[in-house]
Amino acid sequence: MSFIHLHVSTAFSAHYGVSWPDDLAQAAAADGADALGCTDRDGLYGTVKHLKACMAAGIEPIVGVDLAVLEPASDDGGPGGGGHGSGGGHGSAGYGRQALAVNGRVVVLAHGGIKGVGYRALCRLISDAHANASTHTPVGITLEQLVARSLDPQTLAPVLTVLVGPSSDVGQAMAGRKYLTPRRNFQRWHARMPAGTLAAEIVSHLSAPGETLSTAHAVRMLKLAREYGVPAVLTNAVRYCEVDGAATADVLDSARTLTPLTALSGPESRLQPNGQGWLKTSAQMIALGREIMHAAGYGGAELAQLLGSTQELADRCRMDPVTDMGWKQPVVPEASVLGIDQDPLVELTQRAEAGIERRFPGISGRAEQVMRDRLLHELGIIDRLGFSSYFLTVAEVSRMITEMGVRAAARGSGASSLVNYLIDISQVDPLRHDLIFERFLSQDRATLPDIDIDVESAQRHNVYHRIFDRFGAERVTLMSMQNGYRARGAVRDAGLALGMDEEDVGAIAKQLWRFSARNFREAMAEKPELREFAQRVEQGQQNRQSQYGPGIPQTGGNQQLDLLVDLTERLDRLPRHISMHPCGVILGDKSLLDRSPVQPSGLGLPMSQFDKHDMDPMGMLKLDVLGVRMQSAMAYAIREVVRIHPSKTEVVAAGRHQLNSQGEGPAYVAEDGHIDLNAVPLDDEATFELIRSTYTLGCFQIESPGQRELIGKMAPREFNDLIIDISLFRPGPMKSNMVKPFLENRHGFAPEVYPHPALKPALQETHGVTVFHEQVLRTFDVMTGCGLARADEFRRALGNEVAEGKVEDYFRRQARKKQFSLDVIDQVWETLKAFGSFGFCKAHGAAFAVPTYQSAWLKAHHPEAFLAGLWEHDPGMYPRRLLVAEARRMGIPILPLDINHSTGEYRVEEVNGKLGIRMSLAGIYGLSGTELKRIVAHQPYDSLADLRTRAKVGRSTMKRLAQLGAFDALHLTSKGETGSTASRSDLIAHLHSLPVRSANRRWEPIEGQLHLPLGDLELNNLKDELPEPSAAEKVRTELDLLALDVSDHLMSSYRPLLQRLGVTTADKLLRLRNNSEVLVAGIRVATQTPPMRGGRRVVFISIDDGTGCVDATFFHEAQEKSGPLLFGTRMLLIRGLTRRTGPRGISLQALEAWDLSQTETLPLPVGAAAGQLQAQQA
C-alpha cells in the first residue's frame, strides 16, 4: 500500500515551505503514491503549480490550506491576553470590532469530485481569512466561519474537512502537561464541526519525549480521536521534499521572524524541534505509524485503521482539475454585462465592419479584397475558438479608458490582429506591416491570447477603479505576482540567520550584480567585483584550519562567510511574498470569486492569490493594463503645448509643422491647439533626423547606450526601420550576432544572400537576415506548406529538446517533397534552429515603435514641452538630472525656482521670447504636499512676510527656498529699489537667525500695511555681510535639496582637476580618430550588463560630464582591472579607446577606471601634487 501525504507546504508558503511543487509531485509519484496534497499557509499560492505538477507526474491532486484559527481575546490569559492582565480592563480593541488573536493552526482540505463545491468553499474560506485581517488581527479564520463553509449551503453535505493536529489549540495545549485543556479543546471541535468535516491529524517528528511533534503527543491525539469517534489520519506536516531541506527551513524560520538562528533556538525554541518534516516514503510513514501504535499500546489492527482512514480522506479529497476547478476552461464576463443582447460573434462582426470606414477610408479594389479576406479569416478563427466575448471585453475596457481621456496603446502580439485594429484596441495596421494573425491566435492553440494595454502611469489606479466599477467587484480582481529571493535579498537574509553584522552583509550584497544566488560560489570565482569577498572567504577557511595552531587572531567573522555563501544559494528563487502585479487585471463572470481566493492589495482593491502562470490553467482572462510613464510624459507634453500655444496657428508655428498648399496646418492639430498624437503620420522627416542624430535621450526604447549605438549604425529612415531596430535590440539577435550581417547588407557593404529565391519575399525587409517570428512562420510555410497556424506551433517547439527533433524531421521531409535541395534545407534549418526561442515578434516591435516614434516626434517639434513632461513623470532609465543636462545641451533655458513662478509641476514658460522650463517646487526635499499647495494657491507674493502670512510657510522651508534661490527675484527687486548689496548668503543667514515660532509675529505687518507700496522691509533691511555663495556651493545645495543640478553642471567644479588630468569631454569625442586613447570623466548615469555573444559578461557604464554622455564598454579585462569600482562608484574617471560606431556615433572601449573622488589614486601627470589639485577643486 502506498501512503498519501495530505499536509504538505510547498515553497509557495512564503518563508516556510522549502520545495517546489514539481519536486514534491515527482518524489511522491516515484514512491508509488497516486495522489498528493498541497496545503500552503494562508492561501492557494502553490495550488495551480501543484495541479500542473501532479498532472505531469500522473497522480491526482489534493488541495487545501493551512490556516490560523482566530478567537476573541480570551479571559484566561489565552491568545491575545486581555481581561485582567497587566493591560488593564479597558482593552483598546475590546470595543467595537473585537480584536481576534491566533489560537493555533489547522489544515482544511477541499472535498473533490463534487463539481467544484468543495473547491468553491475553500476559495471563499481563504478570502474570509484575509478579510478578517486588520492592523490588530492577523490572517485567519474563526470557528464560526469554518463551520459555515464546511457544508454545501444547498445540500448541507460536507464539502471541507478540517484536520486538527499538533499546531492546533489541541496540540499546543499538550505542551504544558495540562491534561484537561487538550481534551476540552478537542471536545469543542467535535461539538462544533458538522459530522463528516473533522479529522484528527496524527504527526510525529520523533522529537524528544514530551515535546511538540513527539510520538507521545501523537499518541495523545490518537487517543482523543478514538475516544470521540473522530477519524484519525497520519501526516508528516511536510515542509521539504528531502532530508536536506531541513536546514533551509531553519533559515526561512529566521527570515520570517527576522531573528538570528541562535536567538531562535535555545530553551524557548521557535525553530522546528528537529529536521524530520520531509516527504517521507510510504515505508517510512508506515514504520512511523507502527512506532506510534507501539507507543500507544496498540497493534496492527489499529495501524491498519489509521492508514485506512488516511486513505479514505485522501480519496474524498481527490480533485478533478476539470470538473472541480475549471482547468483550462476560459471564462469571460457575461454578454449582458457587456451590454450585448445578440450573439457576441454577430456583434463583433458588426463592430469590425463599422471600423473599416474609419481605418481604411476609401479602400477599394484589390486592397479591399485582401483586407476583407483577412477579416473573414480572423473572424472564422475567433468564432471556432468561441472568443468573441473576449474581444468585446477588451474592446470595452479599451473604450472605457479612452473615454476617460487617458492615453492608451495596445501592446504585444495583439497588434497582429486586424479585428483589434478595426475595433480600436490596437493602433497598428497589421496589413501594412505584414503581421501574421496566427502569431497572436490560432485554432491550434486554445488559450486566451494576451492583449496588453499601456496607459498613462499616473492614471493607472483610476483605470483599475473604473474597471471594477464597470464590471462589478464580483467579476474583477487584480492579479498577484510572486517575488522570489534574488542574490541581494538572499545574502541579506542568510546573513541575518547567521547573526552577522548588518553593515558587513549590506556591503557584500552591494557587490552582487545580476546573477542568480544559486551560482554564488561560481560567481565568486569569476567576477572581479567579488574578488575581495572571495579572498575573505578563503581567509576564513585558512583561519579555521589553523585554529588549533598557535595564537592566530580571529579576523572579524570571516569564518562564517562559507556558510553565508551556502545559505544564500539555498534561498535562491524561493518566494518571499506576493504583491500586486504591476499590470494584471483578471476579468471573469460572477463566479470569479468562487474560483480564486482574494486578499487585500495595497490599492484597496482585492487581489487574487494566483499569478500570471496560473491564468491560463485556470481559464482566467487577464488583461495587462500597464502604467507607462512615457505615456504620462507625452500626455503632459501635449497639455503644455496647448497651454502655451492655445490655438492651431500658434502650435503649428511653434512646432514648425508642415503646411498644406492652402497654408493650413495639419489635421492632427485641432483648432484649440490640441495635438492628436495617434493621428500624426509616421513619416515625419524631422523626427527621423533627430533619431539619426542619436541625441535620443528621453525617447522611448531608444535612449539606452546600446540603442543609441545601434541607431547610429543603422540610421533609420522610416517607421519600419524603427520596428526592425527595436526587434534587433534583444538578447537573441545580439547574442547570435545577427546585427552585423544585417547592418552590412543594409548599407550595401555586403551582398544580400537568400538561401533560396522563394524565401526572398519573407526575408527582404531585413536584407536576408531572419529577425522576426513572423519570418520564421513564413519560412516554415514556404518550405513545407504547413500553413501559418502549424508554423507557429513549430516555432514554439524550437529550442525544446524533445519537440525540436520532430519538427526537424517534418521540415526536412516536406521540404524535400517540395524539391528544395539538401543544401538549402540544411542552411535554412540551421537558421531556424539558431533562431530557437528568441527572435522577436514583429507585432511587438510594431506596437513598441509607435510610442518610440511619438516621443521622438515630440522631442523634434516641441522639445521644451517634451522635456517638461519627462521631468514631471521621470519615465526613462536615467536619473532626472541627466535630462536636465540634456536641456542644457539643447540650449533650452532651465529657469530657476522662483517663489512667484514655480508651481508643483515642471512648466514651460516663455521668458524674453524664448521657451524654457521652470523648476518645480515639488522636487524640494522636505517640502510637504500641503505646504506646496498653500504656496501655489496664494501666488504671487510681494514680500517674504506676505509669503509667511498667506501661505503659512515655516522657517525651515523659508530657508530652503532661499538656499535654492527662490527669493532671488524678490531680492533683486528690493536691491534695485534700495541699493542694498546684500547677498543670498545674507538672506539665508537672516532667515536662519529668526526664532522658529515668533518669526511670524515679528514680521507680521499690521492689518492693511501690505497694500502700501513699501516693498519688502525684511529684504530692504538686509545687511551686506557675506559673499554670494559660489557656483559650486549653489550646485551642491541644489543636489542636496532637489537631487538636480540646476544652475550649473555638477562636473563644473571638477574642471581644474580634469584639465590637469587631460580629460576629453563628451562633445569633443566625435572629432577624434577611431582608436584614440583618451581619459573621460563624469557622473555615472546608467549601468547595464546586457547578454552578449559567447556568454561573457560585458558591462556598459554611461557617464555624463555636462557636455553629453559617454558610453563606456568594459570587457573582461577592463572589469578585472576595475574590480569593485564597477558597480559601487558614482564619479568615475575612465581611460579607454574610442570606437566609432557610425557616422554620428562614438563610444569608448574602457581599459581602466578610477574613483574620481579619491584624488590620491588618480593617474595624475608627474609633478602635479594631488593636494594642490584638491584645493583648487574646492
Partner 1 sequence: MALFSESVEILCSPAAVPLQMTWHGQDYAIEAEPLRWYERRAWWVEETRAERGSGTSLVDHEIWRVQARLKGQGELLTFDLTRHLASGRWRLLRLHDGVQVRSA
Q: Which residues bind partner 1 (CB under 8 A)?
A: 205-210, 214-216, 219, 242-244, 246-248, 250, 261-262, 265, 269, 271-276, 295, 497-498, 541, 544, 559, 562-563, 566-567, 569-570
Cis amide linkage into residue 757, ω under 30° from 0: no
| Residue 561 CB, nearest approach to partner 1 (Å) | 10
Q: Judge contact between 352 and 295, C-beta under 8 A.
A: no
| Residue 510 CB, nearest approach to partner 1 (Å) | 23
C-alpha span between 186 and 722 (Å, rounded):
70
Show the cell assigned to 349.
462582426
Chain centroid to CA 858: 28
Question: Long-range contacts: 540-549, Cβ < 8 Å, 24+?
Answer: none
C-alpha span between 1136 and 1118 (Å, rounded):
9
662 class by beta-carbon count within 10 Å (0-12 exposed, 13-18 middle, 19+ buried): exposed
Q: Which is nearer to partner 1, 241 or 319 (CB)?
A: 241
Q: Which residues of 495-510 are buried (b: 16+ CB within 10 A; e: fewer)?
A: bbbbebeeebbeebbe
Show the cell assigned to 66.
493551512
C-alpha pair distances (Å), 180 with each of 81, 220, 228, 1174: 20, 12, 15, 79
Residues 6+ apart with CB under 8 A from 841: 412, 413, 416, 439, 772, 773, 774
Q: Which is nearer to partner 1, 232 or 1134 (CB)?
A: 232
Question: Long-range contacts: 185-194, Cβ < 8 Å, 24+?
Answer: 186/224, 186/228, 187/228, 189/162, 189/164, 190/228, 190/230, 192/143, 192/147, 193/146, 193/147, 193/150, 193/162, 194/147, 194/150, 194/151, 194/158
Q: Judge contact between 710 and 740, C-beta under 8 A.
A: no
Q: Which is nearer to partner 1, 274 or 1030 (CB)?
A: 274
| Residue 206 CB, nearest approach to partner 1 (Å) | 5
Q: Which is nearer to partner 1, 23 or 765 (CB)?
A: 23
H-only helix segments in 258-330: 261-264, 282-296, 300-316
| Residue 235 CB, nearest approach to partner 1 (Å) | 18
Which of 45, 21, 107 is CA-nearest to residue 597? 45
| Residue 132 CB, nearest approach to partner 1 (Å) | 33
| Residue 377 CB, nearest approach to partner 1 (Å) | 52
C-alpha span between 319 and 1082 (Å, rounded):
62
3-class secondary-structure state, position 71? strand
State phi, psi for 838 to the nearest 5 degrees.
-85, -140
Q: Judge contact between 33 and 599, C-beta under 8 A.
A: no
Residues 6+ apart with CB under 8 A from 369: none
3-class secondary-structure state, position 3? coil
C-alpha span between 1108 and 1067 (Å, rounded):
6
| Residue 247 CB, nearest approach to partner 1 (Å) | 4
Strands 1109-1114 and 476-484: unpaired
Q: Which is nearer to partner 1, 567 or 798 (CB)?
A: 567
95 class by beta-carbon count within 10 Å (0-12 exposed, 13-18 middle, 19+ buried): exposed
| Residue 21 CB, nearest approach to partner 1 (Å) | 18
| Residue 487 CB, nearest approach to partner 1 (Å) | 15
Number of residues that this document lists for the chain: 1178
Q: Which is nearer to partner 1, 177 or 1073 (CB)?
A: 177
Q: Judge contact between 590 and 474, C-beta under 8 A.
A: yes
Residues 6+ apart with CB under 8 A from 398: 408, 410, 424, 425, 453
- The DSSP result for 483-511, as a single string, is EE--HHHHHHHHHHHTT--HHHHHHHHHT
3-class secondary-structure state, position 581? strand
| Residue 10 CB, nearest approach to partner 1 (Å) | 17
Which of 245, 291, 306, 234 is CA-nearest to residue 37? 234
Which of 235, 244, 204, 203 is CA-nearest to residue 23? 244
